[in-house]
Structure 1
Amino acid sequence: MHHMSPEMKACVNECLACYSECLSMAMGHCLETGGKHTEPTHFKLMMACAEICRTSAHFMLIGTEHHRHTCRECAEICRQCAQDCERLGDMQSCVDVCRKCAESCERMAA
């Protein structure tokens, strides 16, 4: 395996944690709660967030320089997702993990 900095390893872990949280929160909490939680804009954002997190982790694990691009986009989507989850309320775990991932990805994109 290629050499990975501790910062990058941490970012991979943040991305995978965010992927897991967004996907399980959407498929569990949001689907069960319904209403605003299943509105297309919110639900699609959660799916997009989960997927870009997974992709960013994947790119860093591959060891391609392209991770800078996915991480930049990941940070943006995570921030948007955190904001939207906060707006809906009762999704603090998702808000927290998205913000943490966004910060980590911003460092990797720099």
Structure 2
Amino acid sequence: MHTISADMRACIDECLRCYQSCLGTAMTHCLEQGGRHVEPAHVRLMMACAEICRTSAHFMLIGTDHHRHTCAECSEICDQCAKSCDALDGMEDCAATCRRCAEACRKMAA
């Protein structure tokens, strides 16, 4: 059976929180705000962030060493998403969640 370390469990939890935050924020706050919040580049980045977070969590849960690759990419996309969210009003929580996930994924990718 695949054993999940405490660090990996923490990373899985951060990835799933980030997945939920990016998807939920894009589909509620961003759509309701309109304007710059729904610019295609921003929405695509949020959807990419949500998906790579979900994928990274999945790879860790199934026990494949390939999680190092997805986690490395996840940390980069989360950092980009946080910067994009920082440029918009009301996106502080999403940006903070992305930063926590990026940090946890950097540790898993190492």
Same fold (TM over 0.5): yes
Alignment of 1:1-110 (within 5 A): 1-110=1-110
Distance 2:7 2:44 in 1: 29
Q: Using the aligned pairs only, state the percent identity.
A: 65
Distance 1:58 1:89 in 2: 31
Structure 2 residue runs without a partner (length 5+): none
CA shift, 1:90, in A, is: 1.4
Q: How many residues align?
A: 110
CA shift, 1:88, in A, is: 1.4
Counterpart residue type for residue 59 of structure 2: F
TM-score of the pair, normalised by structure 2: 0.98
TM-score of the pair, normalised by structure 1: 0.98
CA shift, 1:84, in A, is: 0.4
Distance 1:13 1:90 in 2: 23
CA shift, 1:60, in A, is: 0.2
Structure 1 residue runs without a partner (length 5+): none
Counterpart residue type for residue 49 of structure 2: C
RMSD: 0.6
